[in-house]
Structure 1
Amino acid sequence: MSPILDIDLLRSFAVVAETGALSRAAERVGRSQAALSMQMKRLESLIDQPLLTRTGRGVLLTVQGERLLVHARRILVSHDDALAELSGRSLTGSLRFGCPDDYAQAFLPALLRGFAQHHPAAAIEVVCAATPRLVERHDRGGLDLALISMPLAAEREILRREDLVWVVARDGPSHWPDPLPLALGDPDTLDHQAALAALDRAHQAYRLAYASGSLSGLLAVVRSGQAVAVLTRSAVPSDLRIQSRTSGLPSLPQIGLTIRLDAQRASPLTRAFAAHLRAVLPVL
């Protein structure tokens, strides 16, 4: 008989993956750390694969654990949605959700449409801004949860990886003046910091020709052909061009997407939307 993946085991595993520590996960699921550890051993036995690596600072997912997490999130969302629909417990209420400007057009329509299919009475107020502004607003209590960008080196749950790319007007010049004119976001944003760090490492001269905290402002500058910008690959509009590696510009790093959420204070609606993000965002 084939092994059966128990919903309770998958739910506990997803919380362990999110928190990165058995102690914090045990508090979240209302179990002792020893009981939660036994659950993880049982799940590993069912899968017949190691899922977690214990470290001095918590736990990390193995390759098999990362693969299982993708399936676990989908299963949990489908399970919870089925229960809500069949029992008539479609969630109501409102939540305030922060989303970085560059992901709004790429991801928001699918995220909101999918959630509304199961919770049509829920109201979601969307706030679009750069990640540092979203973090500030969340910390002040102005957002229930936020999707934010972060360096991959940060020790937090990463839902999706995104390439940073150099972007120019589709009919823009093939050779840029020296120093390179840049159009960048606020100094505390990852695109700004990554661009300057890459150019400094390459000893390439540049000047900050345009700066804007608004994505639409940066896109307007790039469309004018007056400067080069840095965006995430998924946010590049079709009328702009990504500079190839042969352009002479230095390579840029990947960044990660994660959720900022106060799990202890989150409402059922907020937790449901966070679970929806975790299940859907990695496969968009």
Structure 2
Amino acid sequence: MSGHLDIDLLRTFVAIAEARTLVRAAEKIGRTQAAVSMQVKKLEGLLNQPLLNRTGRGVTLTLHGERLLAHARTILRHHDAALADISGSGLTGTLRFGCPDDYAAAFLPHILRSFASQHPQVLVEVLCAPTPRLVERLRKHALDLALVSTNEAADASRVIRREPLVWVGNRQDDAIGREPLQLALSDPDTLDHRAACEGLAAIGRPWRVAFASGSMAGLLAVVRSGQAIAVLTQAAVPDDLQVLAPGRRLPALPAVGLMVKFDLPRPPPLVAAFHEHLRRILPTL
């Protein structure tokens, strides 16, 4: 191997690893797909190793790609930190961010990692809670901004991403067949709780909330036990659980929108920068 690891090539590679498709990576970094593909080939040629496996659904990393990814993130983090420190151009401070539990596992790692690579001197404090609790915290100025759920029709211009609500059950148990239907739901004022109850009432199916929890971990534990089914956003469904198709015994569920709310009408530069980051990265995840 000869030459050196170019920062631009590494940044493109990390974008591909996170987006899992060349198209999304190209959109994320503002390049054409052809340019991204050429950069990958250049990096593979430099290292004399294959880095990506191309499939019909996107790309996965080879063993060499996985090893490079760890190094690339470290190099970029130190590079960006040095640049921000010496130039004095980097954002600094503490950001208080709220996020519903069901989005945390699916989106937070990508959101926080990519923001930290750009602004390494910012400390992000994260609170995970149902949307109504996050809104309460915003009103009390206990959060700077929060990613919240909204119904499909409301605030369309501010919606960053849409996620369908789905019924979720254990793969081995037939909780869907019990009468009355046993439900594990979040707080009564949340969109998933209301959608489940209103949908079942509309088709006339008997049901009862057998388990209630404001914690995603609690709801998932109940579903895994086979004692009840739950309603989650599709992105939050773990691999060991199954999405239950709507039909005669289960009503179709609506989609919810993801949007950002602030505690102040005019957010400061740090909060505005994180908001812009959310708007840019969430649609690509």
> Fold-level match, TM-score > 0.5?
yes
**Contact (CA 8 Å) 2:187, 2:214: kept in 1 or not?**
yes
Structure 1 unaligned segments of length 5 or more: list them: 1-70, 76-80
| Distance change >3 Å, CA 142–CA 172, structure 1 → 2 | same
Equivalent residues in 2 for 1:2-41 (5 A)? none
Equivalent residues in 2 for 1:21-170 (5 A)? 88-156=88-156, 157-170=158-171
Displacement, 1:217? 0.8
Counterpart code for 1:181: Q
Counterpart code for 2:190: T
Distance 1:74 1:190 in 2: 34
Distance 1:128 1:96 in 2: 11
| Distance change >3 Å, CA 188–CA 74, structure 1 → 2 | farther
**Contact (CA 8 Å) 1:212, 1:218: kept in 2 or not?**
yes
Counterpart code for 2:124: I
Displacement, 1:264? 3.8
Displacement, 1:260? 0.2
SS at match of 2:115: helix
**Contact (CA 8 Å) 1:131, 1:148: kept in 2 or not?**
yes
**Contact (CA 8 Å) 2:90, 2:119: kept in 1 or not?**
yes
**What does residue 272 of structure 1 align with?**
273
Displacement, 1:256? 0.2
SS at match of 1:245: coil
**Contact (CA 8 Å) 2:175, 2:226: kept in 1 or not?**
no
**Contact (CA 8 Å) 1:74, 1:279: kept in 2 or not?**
no
SS at match of 1:181: strand
Equivalent residues in 2 for 1:191-210 (5 A)? 191-210=192-211
Provide Cα deviations, 1:145-178, integer angstroms capped at 9, x if missing partner: 0000010111251000001000001211175111
Distance 1:262 1:218 in 2: 29
- Equivalent pairs counted in the alignment come to 206
Distance 2:278 2:29 in 1: 10
When normalised by structure 1's length, the TM-score is: 0.68
**What does residue 245 of structure 2 align with?**
244
Structure 2 unaligned segments of length 5 or more: list them: 1-26, 31-79
SS at match of 2:177: coil
Distance 1:198 1:175 in 2: 15
Displacement, 1:247? 6.9
Report runs of 4+ in structure 1 exceeding 6 Å deviation. none
Provide Cα deviations, 1:13-60, integer angstroms capped at 9, x if missing partner: xxxxxxxxxxxxxxxxxxxxxxxxxxxxxxxxxxxxxxxxxxxxxxxx
